[in-house]
Structure 1
Amino acid sequence: MLDRLQYVKQRFDEISDLIIQPDVIADQKRYVQLNKEYKDLKALVEKREEYINLDGNIKEAKEIIADGSDAEMVEMAKMQLDEAQERLPQLEEEIKFMLIPKDPEDAKNVMVEIRAGTGGDEASIFAGDLFRMYTKYCESKGWRTSVVDMNEGTSGGFKEVIFEVTGEDVYGTLKFEAGVHRVQRVPQTETQGRVHTSAATVMVLPEAEEFDVQIDMNDVRIDYFCSSGPGGQSVNTTKSAVRMTHIPTGLVAQCQDEKSQHKNKDRALTVLRSRLYEMELAKKQEEDAKKRNSQVSSGDRSAKIRTYNYPQGRVTDHRIGLTLYDLDGVMNGSVQKIIDELQLVSNTEKLKESEVF
């Protein structure tokens, strides 16, 4: 382990020198990438220092105990040894997980698409509940959310809503949310008090840069139309909304949230690029998941991943068999515990197949 950590320290020292060089600072893209790597390695370097200190404390304590000439020092050394030996296995596990190679996509911002599935009006209301849940969660993380497009339901919520999330390690955190979410509850319109089951599909698309996906604009049909829904006097009077169709794949992206046609065009192109990128990424994730028989693949968008049961006040993630009796908390954005468990299972699977140790 110390050999690997020594390499980490060398790379950290190298980057520490690079990020203060004028030519690197001038290259914004490279500067941002190196700063991200610097931050990741800094955490590992700190763990390395703790590991070295702990190892030194164990050796020192054993020497004092072996000497045995000072009873008081021996007693203190035994306490120090017990504490260090209890901490060491925990620290080793933490370092192992941190040494697992990260997916390059994990640092990307995302487009989240929530679509109402089976269940009519109740499914649209549930899609709205999920949108509120995710925006509250993003707010708690200090991430910025911005609606790209929405199609409101007839009784509230959304038939479809697309929003952008920008922040740190967004895709790495939200990618396991992709799939079918199911709700079991008594709809407000239900007079007999019967529990209904509805569903909504969540897609999490890593935001693709231009160098990730090259789009030939000759392959794209662009349509302009009037915006619908709230938005002031310009709604239904100017053709500011934009719809793009990628003819080779049939993928469609549209944006009507901005009043400017130019801004809507840029954002629709971002969505289209992300969908094309995600389509290729999903194939790769499916192949990787088959190789490791992953429980928490983010590639299968048709898989039923979670149930929100209102009568019992519980949330169950079916991939890892996790059940929480904190439905209100989860729907108000407290999804970190579920995400932590999913990441732990995924990292454990990666660790098993990793050649790090």
Structure 2
Amino acid sequence: MIDVHFQLPILFSSSYVCLRMLLLLSGDVELNPGPMIDDQPTGDLFAKYLEPLDDWEQFALCLPGGITQLDIDIIKTKGNSYLRMEALHKRWLQVNPTASWRDVINALKQSKENELARTIEDKVTNSGPITGNLKDILKTHCDKLAHATSANLCNVTDALYAKDLIPQQTKEDMHVMGIADNKKASNLVHVIENQLEASLNPEQYLINICHVLINQKHRALTDIATSILRQLGQPIPIQPTEPKPELPPAAAAVSEEVDAPAKVDVFNIDIKELIKRHASDNENRSGEIPIGGTTIKWKREKKFSGFELKWVCTCEDTQTGLKIKGPRKQSRDGALEHCLRELFDEFKKKQ
């Protein structure tokens, strides 16, 4: 027989555990909520988000609180970029106990790391339970997705089936005559919800859905997919430009005049992907990047600071003649990335 003094604690503990399990199974509890913009950065997320930062020293000096050059010299001794960011985080919190993600974003902008600032800002400004639940992310877009899909139902269905994202029966159902497209589109979205729930890798499934939607080159579908990818913290794929059809000489002259002010979509460019596609060979000292109706010529060269090897890159837009020379960087790709980023920042000012 259990002593009466221990019965109540045991019953309470068991009930508490059962209640927690029921709440988790119900799906109404937010799982792994993301950071908020005014939260203090944790060491692991700070290091994870800022590990790609090339010119971290300038960023560190822009952090409010007073990171000194002596601090930077000590942090430099750490083995790799992740460990350096962990050390920077630890030192920063020592000199600024009220540090927040907002401070991180502002420091990135001050050091002209605008692309990384936008990426982190997207991660910390999508508030609420939506950050922890893939079903909720999809659910908030269901109405718009069904409406946009109904206008291009057969193409979307075939593309989803080709990527094994929906069953064959669903594909056949979407091609049945006599049922309104908006009704079939709603059913298609419902199937996607069920497939997401049953998937062994639901996040990757949702990412694959978004890529299919973007490939349809339909404005509404692209906007929906882009919104979902941003909430997942995923990069937005760059859409290749379609070649223009050949025109007679007279028509071509008119076309060139009309197309003269064509602009690069600098607000939706993945610079690292551009470098991967067009400058992946580290031995190349120069090259060209075709993008958005123009071509960007780049050239990088070695520079020595004392006994330390640095790289300097120059980028030029062939359409406008705009030319940017970036700062010295430790890596080839880092020099090119920084130079491209500054060039695109200038484009944004003009647009």
TM-score where L is the length of structure 1: 0.25
More helix by share: 2
Bigger relative CO (Cα 8 Å, ≥ 6 apart)? 1
More strand by share: 1
